[in-house]
């Protein structure tokens, strides 16, 4: 009797403890080359192995709520491993008009109303938490931890705090040396592994703060996020002072999915610049009729807004004659928009009192007659205090807004982005988010959001050097559209640069500055220079204004992250090529085997001149027939480039 009772007690104990016993679930990508092993013990851990190499080990997924911890002593209720195949057709294709979306879905439901799901692609892994809890929940912090299997160099943007415009230069740290008291990093982060590289970012960010990372001096990266502001006041016309913060990072619905955290994994640096993960992870578009959303190029007056020359017989400035000059240039060259920056309104706090020198009603009418649309710049606080302005702008005939200086990623500010996108869409207004963080999915739900800044662009003049910008195709621009403001006609080598408003200049050679117009992606691509200067170089002008902003196909022909890149892009039957290098000169050969069999189209190219290493303005334009067997030799001086178009 006693023995039977003892056996029953031991059996009962074993059953009770089985919920906490270690369990491991493994899933593989469709090609079998990447696997994720999820271990459930005291926490939820996972390892990532790709092409026989362990990249991440004992990473942690978890979240601390105000009343419980998700991921602590997890008990598995249900496991599903599913093969998914599909194709996505993005409305605004930055790289590809169609993207395959084939993955293995590993879904784990846990006791306690939460779960975690992983998507395993041939070129990456994404995961997210989801909850099914009643009412609202308060998220105190995330317990997310990325643990690298070995010491790696990291390519980072490191702000001094959560208040940041995300325009810092890249810094380079070893994962074993990034200490907890060092500056944190914003996303995306590039992990430079020994054999493979990992681009780490997030997506589908909605009513939740953006993710930052801190190092722990042991090859692990911990999540850190801004707390939700509770009390705040205006600090001038474009900033807000936070007076009181909550002890939580988010108050949100208890039933929801949380942002994807994804890792693009590649053995080829060029694949970083071809990143397809955002398209695959995007939610469906929330706008029923998108016919009014028209991406394209735009002229812009902020950096070079004073026309001059024999065709300018008016006093240049923020006035009607100057803006008509911009409109005329745009109309002649098939550029669909102009952006009017600060000064079009009498007071930056009041979007309804326009500058009488501009005569906005007449300008809008004039631009419309020339088939040119007008965007206007606004500080975000003015939008926040006048959310009804989108209705007024629609009545006036304005097509878009450039909204600036948000400089935060807390939940309140993420909700502001969302409210703006929705309200603007109601009134057929397109949006450029300047002073912003990296794109994280809103532009797919509301594609009237055309672009984001979040980059050290040409507004920085001399400090926007190629040795930093060369990273953009591999890091920042890899995760979404980027308002870099390219298109400089005056160009200097970095040590000689001296251009500032109202005569700003590009850094790098003339061919470099033409190439980035092909390489750098944005649904609203700026022509940052003055119309009068474009007209001084009509060959360059005609090339730049012919470059599309959306593409059917993208091919990286040669690349080394942080060193150089050669990229070919197709729209219809026409191919464009852009190539840039850092401070090192390059001699590269690429084959044009993407061209159709039997075709011999003409290539118009712009290359560095023989003296471009000293005089950045030196370039050579050539025309020559090419075919799919052509071996194209690209010679770039330091901070140089190459740009070309193939076909009529």
Q: Which residues are catalytic?
A: 404, 459
Q: State both tokens at 151.
A: 């010491």
- DSSP summary character for residue 533: H
**Which residues, listed in sequence order, are joined to residue 619 by a DSSP beta bridge?**
608
The angle at the Cα of 497, spanning 488 to 559, to the nearest 5 degrees, equals 65
- Those residues with Cβ within 8 angstroms of residue 272's Cβ, 6 or more apart along the chain or in another chain: 190, 197, 199, 264, 266, 473, 474, 475, 478, 559, 561
Contact 274, 197 (CB under 8 A): no
- Please give the DSSP secondary-structure letter assigned to residue 112: T
Give the C-alpha separation, 465 to 516, whole Å: 13
The token pair at 504 is 């700003």
Question: In a 3-state reduction of DSSP, which class is residue 541?
Answer: helix
Q: In sequence order, what DSSP letters do the residues of 395-410 get, joined into one string?
A: HHT--EEEEE-----S
DSSP 172: E
- Taking CA atoms, 464 is separated from 282, 468, 495, in Å, by 31, 7, 12
Residues 86, 77: Cα–Cα separation, whole Å: 28
Q: Please report how many Cα atoms fall inside a 13 Å half-sphere around the Cα of residue 478, on the Cβ side.
A: 31
Q: Are strands 260-266 and 124-142 parallel, antiparallel or unpaired?
A: antiparallel
Q: Is cis: bond before 52, omega within 30 of 0?
A: no
- For residue 368, the surrounding DSSP H or E stretch is helix 360-369
Distance CA 186, CA 257 (A): 22
């Amino acid at each position: 009797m006693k023995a039977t009772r003892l056996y029953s007690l031991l059996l009962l104990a074993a059953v009770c403890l089985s919920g906490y016993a270690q369990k491991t679930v493994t899933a593989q990508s469709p090609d079998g080359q990447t696997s994720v092993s999820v271990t459930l013990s005291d926490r939820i851990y996972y390892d990532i192995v790709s092409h026989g190499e362990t990249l991440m080990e004992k990473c942690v997924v978890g979240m601390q709520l105000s009343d419980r911890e998700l991921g602590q002593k997890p008990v598995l209720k249900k496991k599903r491993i599913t093969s998914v195949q599909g194709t996505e057709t993005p409305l605004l294709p930055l790289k590809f008009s169609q993207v395959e979306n084939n993955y293995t879905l590993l879904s784990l439901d846990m006791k306690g109303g939460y779960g975690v799901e992983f998507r395993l692609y041939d070129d990456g892994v994404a995961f997210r938490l989801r909850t099914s809890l009643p009412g609202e929940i308060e998220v105190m912090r995330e317990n997310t931890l990325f643990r690298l299997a070995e010491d790696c160099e990291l390519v980072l943007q490191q702000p001094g705090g959560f208040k940041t415009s995300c325009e810092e230069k890249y810094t380079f740290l070893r994962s074993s040396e990034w200490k907890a008291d060092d500056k944190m990093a914003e996303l995306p982060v590039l992990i430079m592994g020994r054999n493979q590289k990992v681009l780490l970012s997030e997506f589908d960010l909605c009513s939740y703060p953006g993710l930052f990372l801190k190092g722990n001096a042991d090859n692990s990266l911990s999540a850190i996020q801004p707390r939700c502001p509770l009390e705040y006041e205006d600090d001038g016309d474009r900033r807000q002072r936070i007076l009181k913060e909550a002890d939580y990072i988010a108050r949100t619905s208890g039933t929801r999915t949380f942002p994807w955290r994804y890792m693009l994994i590649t053995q080829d640096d060029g694949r970083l610049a071809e990143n397809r993960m955002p398209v695959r992870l995007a939610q469906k578009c929330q706008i029923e009729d998108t016919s009014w959303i028209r991406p394209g190029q735009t002229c812009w007056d902020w950096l070079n807004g004073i026309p001059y020359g024999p065709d300018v017989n008016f006093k240049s400035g923020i006035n009607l004659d100057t803006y008509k000059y911009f409109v005329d240039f745009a109309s002649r060259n098939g550029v669909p928009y102009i952006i009017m920056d600060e000064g079009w309104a009498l007071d930056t706090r009041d979007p309804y009192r326009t500058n009488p020198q501009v005569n906005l009603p007449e300008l809008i009418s004039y631009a419309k007659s020339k088939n040119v649309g007008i965007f206007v710049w606004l500080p975000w606080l003015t939008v926040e205090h006048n959310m009804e302005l989108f209705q007024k702008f629609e009545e006036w005939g304005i097509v878009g807004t450039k909204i600036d200086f948000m400089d935060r990623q807390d939940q309140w500010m993420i909700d502001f982005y969302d409210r703006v996108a929705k309200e603007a869409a109601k009134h057929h207004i397109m949006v450029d988010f300047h002073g912003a963080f990296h794109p994280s999915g809103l532009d797919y739900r509301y594609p009237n959001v055309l672009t984001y800044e979040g980059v050290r662009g040409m507004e920085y003049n001399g400090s926007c050097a190629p040795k930093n910008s060369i990273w953009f195709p591999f890091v920042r621009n890899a995760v979404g559209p980027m308002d870099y403001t390219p298109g400089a006609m005056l160009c200097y080598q970095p040590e000689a640069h001296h251009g500032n408003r109202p005569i700003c200049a590009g850094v790098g050679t003339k061919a470099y500055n033409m190439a980035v117009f092909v390489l750098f992606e944005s649904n609203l691509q700026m022509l940052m220079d003055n119309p009068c200067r474009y007209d001084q170089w009509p060959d360059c002008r005609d090339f730049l204004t012919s470059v599309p902003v959306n593409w059917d196909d993208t091919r990286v022909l040669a690349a080394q992250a942080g060193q150089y890149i050669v990229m070919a892009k197709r729209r219809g039957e026409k191919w464009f090529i852009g190539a840039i290098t850092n401070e090192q000169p390059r001699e590269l050969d690429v084959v044009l085997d993407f061209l159709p069999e039997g075709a011999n189209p003409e290539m118009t190219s712009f290359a560095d001149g023989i003296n471009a290493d000293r005089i950045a303005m030196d370039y050579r334009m050539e025309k020559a027939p090419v075919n799919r067997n052509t071996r194209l030799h690209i010679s770039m001086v330091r901070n140089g480039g190459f740009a070309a178009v193939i076909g009529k």
